[in-house]
Structure 1
Amino acid sequence: MTIRRLVAAMILATASGSVLAEQSFTVQDIQVEGLQRVALGAALNNLPFNVGDTITEYNLSRSIRTLYAAGHFDDIQVFRDGNTIIYRLRERPTINAIEFDGNKDIKEDQLTESLAGNKVEVGEPLDKTILKNIETGLTEFYHGVGKYQAAVDIEIVYLPRNRVNLKVKFTEGDAASIRQINIVGNKLFSNDELLKNIESKQDLPWWRFMSSDRYQKQTLQGDIEKITSYYLDRGYLRFKLDSSQVSVSPDKTSVYVTLNITEGEQYTVKGVKFVGDLIGKDEFIKAILPIEDNQLYNGALVTYTEESIARLLARFGYANSKVRTIPQINDDTKEVELTISVDPGKRVYVRRINVAGNNSTQDEVVRRELRQMEGAWLSNDSLELSKDRIQRLPYIESVSYDTVPVPGIDDQVDVGFKVKEQPSGSFNAGISYGNYMGLSFQIGVQQENFFGTGNSAGISVNTNKYQKSVSVNYTDPYFTLDGISLGGQVFYSELDYSKQSANLEAYNYQRYGFGANMGYPINEYNRLNFGANYVVNKINSVNEYDQLRHFRAILLESNNPDGGYNFTNYELSAGWVQSTLNRGLFPTAGHYFGWNIKVTTPNSDLQFFKSNFEARKYIPLSNDHAWSFLSKLELGYGNGYGNKNGYDHTLPFTENFYAGGQNVRGFESRIIGPHAIYRTPSSIPGIPDINAGSNGYTNDLDTDTYFVSDRSFGGNAMAILTLEMITPTPFLSDDYRNSVRTSIFLDAGNVWDTEFDINRYANLSVNNSLGFKQPELADYSDPTLIRATAGVSLQWISPMGPLTFSLAKVIKKYEGDKQENFSFNIGTTF
């Protein structure tokens, strides 16, 4: 319309004689009408002439094009009054707001970003000519995801002061389903055999509601590549897709896909040769070459070979190498000779390494985990190892890196590591009440990144009806530059079970001391740990049960049988850890092996050792690690060594292993394993001999009775197995995958006492006069009394620490076990 006005104005001006064709004149004045938002100076700056210039009508025409190109005006008219030029302009309206309605498949953030790329955003002038293109582009997007009924309409609402609101209305409709996929030309493989390898599904029955037969253009393109690879991996080198058609039903609810293919014949590999520069690794590369003569051509194997050579070159700094395979095909003999061309390019060096995203963590803490050094050649292995080491830090959620070429230099890059932090500590607190524990209160803070230094520090306070404890610890993982760690702890605890009812083990236990620990790295994955503790123990008011007879005989003074047990231990510990886990918290790949042994020195009051072993293996089941399988094994064993006054040392009951609660979910805490056995002799017991058969201790008399405690006091041996399927969390965005984890688990295990002898109680009778139901006596030395549970678990790394929710069903239990189907823990992860 604007062009028609311009032409009409020119014709009118020519007819009236006000402007003569090709007649030049001198501009005396320029007037501009219709400006509102655009400043006069800005408009005049776009004109190709000024006052005083001599121009022709060609210059006037050119000025109209120039003003349009500025992008501020919808309509431009130019008139001449003598030597005065008059411009009448209508400005483009300013976008006041953009509203979206009906969009479900496309998020508003994506729409806003896409419109901004077309210069359609709030505060900018509106170019109406591009709105139609936007409508068409959005409609084509919906068609690409199978929504052929979709429509997009952009409505312009005019406002005062030359402003407009844009309302983008979406009618998405339902996605078209794939009614049928036809493959034409296949003789070697059936349709079913080919279709089972692709993602697109056809005409699914209603009961397969977990699958989708929705048509998507991008998915179909990927499926075509999979079919092509299927043939190439089986030697059909001449396979090709002749054509593909997608037909839409009249009601636009279904599509029919037809693929026309030519299968060709199988080809075998005649030989493999190399051209180019193998950087002196010729023999090594040829030795690991997976392609052999006279085998069927395999496209996947060829691609793997190219990638392997490229990765090898990247280890030595050739990050931009080009490796490609050139086939020389003999159609007569159906053979192919492969020529692998290797161009390593220039060796690339790292100029600078930048770290970003570490808002709480000091830069040095991240950099000390780097294995790619500045000034060294760029190595993909070093970059990946650096990424893994940073990601294993418990206060780092994720790590990514990129390489940026240095401008003007073709053999240098800058490397940028971007980290995403997560809560670096755990805060566990709680108040609860129960018949067994009474009113409980606990509070603790464990900070794995103390003030951003990467050092670990923590304090915990725990109190309930029976227990009071406090501990403080601190560890510097890089006490020396080469990664030797040093730490220490101070602790105090007091357990008062002396007021327990008769069916529970009762005692009063005080324990305090201090210790130090040191770690030494062997290599990137293995580490040795050493420690020493000084521990003072005081046990009083012990409700003596039969399994304590050796413990009692060694510690109790004969002239003060009511004096309790006081003993001081000097503990030495050593351990080994091997970890290839890809993350510190919520790993999805790699393994962890940890072994630790603690031994008291011969000059300690009690001589014993205690050993623990833990193995975890994560196997990713999908490329994005959304699905992963975890197998976990925990083993423990402890016992005494040496003897005192003819009595063998045993593992003190305060060091026993326990099961239930966190390690065997579905059972109450510390319920699995040996129970205390209380004997009621016919005379007052004294200090027993090694056989517990004299000095007033009537173990062998038929008049003795016994009862079994309600809860387990633990055992000196433990074995627990966990199998866990880690799954995507339903209804949760992938953005939270590293902080929220859902899993389906199976726990099984047992705790037993290798020193227990059930024959000691064969001739004794059960005391049934106590007024409560007691568990039946079992063989607590039997490791096969395995408990098993299955359930689901949800773990969340919250701002106050890891939270774990578990819902479990007991599969196997024994008489006396107490269930806890739902559990909630703060500060613990699996």
Structure 2
Amino acid sequence: MSFSRKTPFLRRGLPALLVALCLPALAHAFTPFVVRDIKVNGIQRVDAGTVFSYLPVKVGEEFTEAEASEAIQRLYATGFFSDVRIDTANDVLVVTVQERPTIASVSFNGMREFDVKGITQSLKQVGFGEGRVFDRSMLERARFEIEQQYLSKGKYGVEINPIITPLPRNRVGVSFEIFEGERAHISEIDVVGNKAFSDDDLRDAMDLTTSGMMTWYTGTDKYSREKLEGDVERLRSFYLDRGYLEYSAEAPQVTISPDREHIFITYTVHEGEPYKVRSVKLAGNLLGLDKNIRDLIAVKAGETFSAAKTNETAKAITEYLGTLGYAFANVNPNPVLDRDNHETDLTFYVDPGKRVYVRRIQIGGNTRTRDEVIRREMRQQEAAWYDGNAIKNSRDRIDRLGYFNEVNVSSEPVPGSTDQIDINVDVKEKPTGLINLGVGYGSTDGVILSAGISQDNIFGSGNTLSLNVNTSEYNRALVLSHTDPYWTKDGISKTTSLYYRRTTPYDSDRGIGDYRVTSYGGGFNFGVPISENDRIFAGVSYEHNKLSDLSANYTPQAYHDFVDQYGESTNSLIFNLGWSKDTRDSALAPTEGSYTRLSADYSILDLEYYMLSAQQQYYLPLGRAFTLAFNGAVDWGRSYSDKDFPVIKNVYGGGIGSVRGYEGASLGGRDTKTDDYLGGARRVYGNMQLYLPFPGATRDRTLRWFIFADAGKVDNPQGECARGRNNYAEDPCGWKYAAGVGLSWQSPLGPLQLSWGRALNAKEGDDKQAFQFQIGTGF
């Protein structure tokens, strides 16, 4: 067998299927031969060995027409080549290919609705991305995938134009030019087939709404496929919660106006009749806990069937079994319908599964915080039976540390084992350090330097260390404190603090200070846990105070009275005792739970007084995105000697932290000589806030805006309220009320709060302040 010329088996551009059909017709021109050599032409990036691996023949083997057809089909099927040709010359098999270009880059211009990383990932899932072989059909598939993403968000006017740019070395760059257009708004929602409930009742159960006054903020009039599917389920739940067990619905009809800006949705429902519960039973393996489980049943015989109560019961039983180690308990409610009488017999089938224990607790996501800081908050132990309550308490305790933006606790079965699981604790750390550096200049203070450093989780140890320095000429301070939350392995905490403060109030009329107060001291405070959420505090501190440079005309009379009674220098030993209880689900942005704190300070030596303090916070979740928060506090100080309560220990109110809308520290009595704010020995205030999610920041749970109402007062229980020089203030010690809006954010610089408040009952002489700003405040 010999060939004097090349015999082509495939012409450029014919598809593999056509080749397979045509090759038999070329048999008269092709005689099988033994391959002496194989050559590959046209490859640039694909390795020659890859081509050899797809050929059904090797050197020294006979090459037939059937193998030629198979070789061509195999090489086309790889997707690497746009053209394949096989020739022979002198028993040499020559494979000539033309490679498809590869995608060097994928970019998007004009895309604002989606994250580039997310879209890029979704395109890779359909086979289109950097490093992939470029194919026109795959390009169209990618364009269609992007378009579907926009349509699911209600952007029906989107235009997507791919631009292909040839690059050296047989590569291309792909750029998608996107005109997003406006999101289509819902103009009408209709329900067909409803008799028991009105259209308005059913529309109230949905998330999607027609355009209205507040939809610019809520966005509920913007159509999306996910929200539509959610509303289908909400309608179903609405009817099932009211006993309509035969409820069914057709797929909602969605139409769009010719201009692609208005959407019309129609739901067609089949209600049926409501059912009452005739009997409630338990079945399955109850582990001898029939009574305990029956107490968890919220559904009662004789009531209208409620899917919400039914699911609530199933969840309660599952969680109860979880506390006993049955992590994979399954509870299935099964209603049996009596259609003639519209009654149902409800049976809860309980399958506890196998009791499991925790093999390992794995910590992840902590790049700075040590594992032990997280592990010591775990109430679920390794090698112990699984306990659902312990898992929840552990998650809440870790979140209340305040070191993490996110805390997720999950469980997974151990491969090959039926009675073991692993617990995964994944955290996302937040900045826990705060550094303040300030340089300023004032006509009175001159150059002002201030610095502060605070680290709530120093070196990832869970300890807190802070140092604050202020070098103003008239206000200087140096404060150093350290807290070890696990001073002992039992969880006893210890706080050590040292401080030095010097204050010289400035009088602009005289150009000098009115007086000087110098204080220094230090102390220890210990916290002893007495339960999962309760802690007792006790401590002692020493403090030295000195008043000097008093002016006969410009120093407040209250400070002259203090010196007359106590002298210029005083020493005091202050004992404190307290109790706190914290059940909040988060220290950063609580949505449920409460916080309670009671404390008492008792001073001996030169200053003989006591101060009682109480605080109560309560967080009530209203749905998934709203939280109603309450805060109340009382401080009550008295002297237990025949002297007045020391003015240097007065408490103050007004501004962020008490009653917004009034200037900071402005509540309470005024000095009769200078009109200076004096505060008082008693302070009472309360706050109510409704937290709402910030538009466009649903991923950041610490960024929220709120509506608030405040009330509070500062006065002196042991004496009348001083109204200032010439009775300047009409009612400085009366109740003050305010309301407004604000913004809170756990910023990288610390807790940030902005508020705009309106004083509702300001009197003559009250100092109002609408806009207020603070970093480092709480509630």
Residue 599 of structure 2: aligned partner: 596
1:395–1:424 Cα contact (<8 Å) kept: yes
1:155–1:168 Cα contact (<8 Å) kept: yes
Residue 301 of structure 1: aligned partner: 309
Residue 113 of structure 1: aligned partner: 121
1:153–1:168 Cα contact (<8 Å) kept: yes
Residue 648 of structure 2: aligned partner: 654
Residue 586 of structure 1: aligned partner: 589
1:310–1:323 Cα contact (<8 Å) kept: yes
After TM superposition, the score normalised by the length of structure 1 is 0.85
Counterpart code for 2:698: D
Find the partner of 1:575 among 568, 578, 588.
578
Paired with 2:501 and 2:390, the residues of 1 have a C-alpha distance of 46
2:336–2:345 Cα contact (<8 Å) kept: yes
Are residue 776 (structure 1) and residue 776 (structure 2) matched? no
Query: Shift of the alpha carbon at 1:546?
Result: 5.8
Single out whichever of 534-543 and 83-92 deviates more from structure 2: 534-543
Residue 670 of structure 1: aligned partner: 665
Paired with 2:91 and 2:379, the residues of 1 have a C-alpha distance of 76
Q: Pairwise mapping of residues 191-210 of structure 1 onto structure 2 (< 5 A)? A: 191-202=199-210, 204=211, 209-210=216-217
Counterpart code for 1:629: L
- CA deviations 1:694-745 (Å, max 9, x no partner) are xxxxxxxxxxxxxx42221221111122222323334x5334332x443333
Counterpart code for 1:410: T
The 1:551–1:175 alpha-carbon spacing in structure 2 relative to 1, beyond 3 Å, is closer
Counterpart code for 2:223: Y
DSSP 3-state at the match of 2:123? helix
Query: Shift of the alpha carbon at 1:635?
Result: 0.9
Paired with 1:804 and 1:251, the residues of 2 have a C-alpha distance of 44
Paired with 2:243 and 2:750, the residues of 1 have a C-alpha distance of 54
1:478–1:485 Cα contact (<8 Å) kept: yes
1:610–1:636 Cα contact (<8 Å) kept: yes
DSSP 3-state at the match of 2:738? strand
Residue 742 of structure 1: aligned partner: 705
Paired with 2:38 and 2:443, the residues of 1 have a C-alpha distance of 95
- CA deviations 1:672-704 (Å, max 9, x no partner) are 211222xxxxxxxxxxxxxxxxxxxxxxxxxxx
- CA deviations 1:576-624 (Å, max 9, x no partner) are 11111222233232211111110023xx12321012212222223331x
1:516–1:532 Cα contact (<8 Å) kept: yes
DSSP 3-state at the match of 1:709? coil
2:16–2:76 Cα contact (<8 Å) kept: no
Counterpart code for 2:613: N
Residue 721 of structure 1: aligned partner: 686
Unaligned 5+ segments in structure 2 are 1-11
The 1:28–1:755 alpha-carbon spacing in structure 2 relative to 1, beyond 3 Å, is same
Query: Shift of the alpha carbon at 1:405?
Result: 2.4
Query: Shift of the alpha carbon at 1:552?
Result: 5.1
DSSP 3-state at the match of 1:812? coil
Counterpart code for 1:776: Y
Are residue 635 (structure 1) and residue 634 (structure 2) matched? yes
Q: Pairwise mapping of residues 549-628 of structure 1 onto structure 2 (< 5 A)? A: 551=562, 554-555=565-566, 564-601=567-604, 604-623=605-624, 625=625, 627-628=626-627
2:638–2:718 Cα contact (<8 Å) kept: no
Query: Shift of the alpha carbon at 1:505?
Result: 10
RMSD, aligned α-carbons: 3.0
Are residue 458 (structure 1) and residue 466 (structure 2) matched? yes
The 1:294–1:800 alpha-carbon spacing in structure 2 relative to 1, beyond 3 Å, is closer
1:710–1:774 Cα contact (<8 Å) kept: no
2:506–2:512 Cα contact (<8 Å) kept: no
Unaligned 5+ segments in structure 1 are 556-563, 678-707, 767-772
After TM superposition, the score normalised by the length of structure 2 is 0.90
Counterpart code for 1:393: L
2:296–2:317 Cα contact (<8 Å) kept: no
Paired with 2:343 and 2:203, the residues of 1 have a C-alpha distance of 29
The 1:291–1:829 alpha-carbon spacing in structure 2 relative to 1, beyond 3 Å, is closer
Find the partner of 1:325 among 310, 322, 333.
333
Counterpart code for 1:656: N
Q: Pairwise mapping of residues 348-387 of structure 1 onto structure 2 (< 5 A)? A: 348-387=356-395
Query: Shift of the alpha carbon at 1:438?
Result: 7.3
Paired with 1:613 and 1:437, the residues of 2 have a C-alpha distance of 37
Equivalent pairs, count:
763
Paired with 1:9 and 1:277, the residues of 2 have a C-alpha distance of 64
Paired with 2:730 and 2:189, the residues of 1 have a C-alpha distance of 64
Are residue 516 (structure 1) and residue 524 (structure 2) matched? yes
Paired with 1:509 and 1:540, the residues of 2 have a C-alpha distance of 7
Residue 474 of structure 1: aligned partner: 482
Counterpart code for 1:569: S
Q: Pairwise mapping of residues 801-820 of structure 1 onto structure 2 (< 5 A)? A: 801-820=750-769
Query: Shift of the alpha carbon at 1:824?
Result: 3.6
Higher relative contact order (CA 8 A, sep 6+): 1
1:539–1:565 Cα contact (<8 Å) kept: yes
Query: Shift of the alpha carbon at 1:629?
Result: 2.3
Counterpart code for 1:714: G
2:524–2:540 Cα contact (<8 Å) kept: yes
- CA deviations 1:139-173 (Å, max 9, x no partner) are 33444333444444434333343221223233444
Paired with 1:820 and 1:182, the residues of 2 have a C-alpha distance of 49
Paired with 1:67 and 1:450, the residues of 2 have a C-alpha distance of 61
Query: Shift of the alpha carbon at 1:345?
Result: 1.2
Query: Shift of the alpha carbon at 1:286?
Result: 0.7
Paired with 1:12 and 1:453, the residues of 2 have a C-alpha distance of 76
Find the partner of 1:334 among 330, 342, 346.
342
The share of aligned pairs that are identical, in percent, is 34
Single out whichever of 279-288 and 740-749 deviates more from structure 2: 740-749
The 1:671–1:188 alpha-carbon spacing in structure 2 relative to 1, beyond 3 Å, is closer
Paired with 2:771 and 2:186, the residues of 1 have a C-alpha distance of 44
Residue 78 of structure 1: aligned partner: 86
DSSP 3-state at the match of 2:675? strand
Counterpart code for 2:407: V
Query: Shift of the alpha carbon at 1:174?
Result: 3.8
Find the partner of 1:266 among 252, 269, 274.
274
Paired with 1:587 and 1:448, the residues of 2 have a C-alpha distance of 19
Query: Shift of the alpha carbon at 1:115?
Result: 1.6
Single out whichever of 321-330 and 809-818 deviates more from structure 2: 809-818
Residue 19 of structure 1: aligned partner: 30
Paired with 2:654 and 2:748, the residues of 1 have a C-alpha distance of 27
Residue 709 of structure 1: aligned partner: 674
Query: Shift of the alpha carbon at 1:658?
Result: 1.0
Paired with 1:254 and 1:199, the residues of 2 have a C-alpha distance of 17
